[in-house]
Amino acid sequence: MPHNTFHASTIPTHSFRRRSYRAGVHLDHVVIAVSDFERSSAFYRDVLGADVVEIDGRVAYRIGGQQLNVHGPGVRPAMVARIPVAPGNSDLCFEWDGSIAGAVAHLEAHGVRIEAGPMTRGGAKGQGASVYFRDPDGTLLELISYAG
Let me know: does 86 contact 93? Beta carbons within 8 Å: no
Q: Is 99 part of any domain?
A: yes
CATH number of 35's domain: 3.10.180.10
Taking only the tens of pLDDT, the chain with its 148 residues reads: 345 555 555 656 656 666 666 678 888 999 999 999 999 999 999 999 999 999 988 999 999 889 999 999 998 888 999 999 999 999 999 999 999 999 999 999 999 999 999 999 999 999 999 999 999 999 999 999 999 6
pLDDT at 105: 98
Compute the distance between CA of residue 147 and CA of residue 129 in angstroms, rounded to an integer: 8
pLDDT at position 1 is: 39
Specify the number of domains making up the chain: 1
Domain encompassing residue 87: 26-145
Q: Is residue 16 a part of any domain in this protein?
A: no
The pTM (predicted TM-score) of the whole model is 0.85
Please state, in angstroms and rounded to a whole number, the distance separating the CA atoms of residues 35 and 14. 41
Class of residue 141 by CB neighbours under 10 A (exposed 0-12, middle 13-18, buried 19+)? buried
For the question of residue 108 being annotated catalytic, the response is no
For 1-148, list the strands marked E by DSSP: 29-33, 51-55, 58-63, 66-71, 91-96, 116-123, 126-134, 140-145
